[in-house]
Amino acid sequence: MKSTKTLMCAMGVGAMIFAAGKVSAVPGVVNVCGTVLSETDSNPSTNVYVGKVTRKSFNTKYVLNLLAQATESSFGGNQGWFTNKNSKLVYDPEAFNSDASDNYSFDVYGIFYVTNTSTHDVYYLDGLDEGDTYFSFVEFNSYGFERLTSGGLGFWADPGLGENYVNSFKENDAKSTYTSKANLHGLLYIHDDPYQYDVTDNPGELFVNNTSALIIRGLGTFNYSDNSTTQTESFSLCGSGDGCFTSAADTRPVVTGRVTFKSKGPSVTMTPGLK
């Protein structure tokens, strides 16, 4: 398995696993919600055939359940605690992802994990397997978040995703404050095949080995502020995409959804690329 270091929390109520080289700046909670549009066919009478579009909503709890089941065959077994009360999907856009970077030979930023605020368990959603092969269950891809990442988040290198962005900002050196708002293209990809990652470079492979997966593509906004004491980040992505679900695997459902992220913490000065 990937190199890890286990630290018992001060109160002794659980273990927190930190992957080597993955140092977080200000991680925040991710929430996902949306609708799955799928088709059901019927034959109500002789020579009559009817296809209807059905709607089913999904939320972060559904996503966490998908991810819990995704670990069932390997990677520590089914992580049933993902759906427990106080379990959260967490993202750190500024964290340098050493495992993904080594796999791609270029800098990759952004790390997802699941944590429980009560038990303090932590499970990273990407890394290296026992054969040192890179795997991932969740990726966020975008271009235009420049503060520490040299422009890119995740596997953004796909012309179809969009590389243009616009950014408004205000910097006051006298007061050591900085705020910015970037409007950019983004893609969230959640899937249960750990080796079916990076859909931006491998479009069309959603249905190859995944049993359950969803993609949300759209225009997003990334807000950032730093007053040298506290930094805050928030992100919102609204859009549509594709899905692959056990209950509707043959209908190629259409997904519409919204992704939000928010974090707040002490101001941290980081150097891009350091492990």
Domain limits at 228?
Answer: 27-44+55-266
Q: What's the total number of domains in the chain?
A: 1
Q: Which residues contact 139 (CB under 8 A, 6 or more apart)?
A: 110, 112, 126, 154, 155, 188, 189, 197, 198, 199
Residue 157 lies in a domain: yes
> What is the chain's length?
275
Helix spans in the chain (H): 60-70, 98-104, 206-209
Q: What is the pLDDT along the chain (275 residues), one digit of tens a residue?
A: 333 322 222 222 223 333 333 434 578 999 999 999 988 888 999 999 998 888 999 999 999 999 999 987 677 778 889 999 999 999 998 888 999 988 887 788 899 999 999 999 999 999 998 889 999 999 998 887 766 666 678 887 655 677 788 889 999 999 989 999 989 889 999 999 999 888 877 777 788 888 889 999 999 999 989 888 888 989 999 999 998 887 654 568 899 999 999 998 887 654 443 32
Any domain includes 71: yes
Angstrom distance (rounded) from CA 189 to CA 176: 36
User: What is the pTM for the complete model shown?
Assistant: 0.83
Q: What are the tokens at 190? A: 């959640």
Kindly state whether residue 14 falls inside one of the protein's structural domains: no
Residue 15 inside a domain? The answer is no
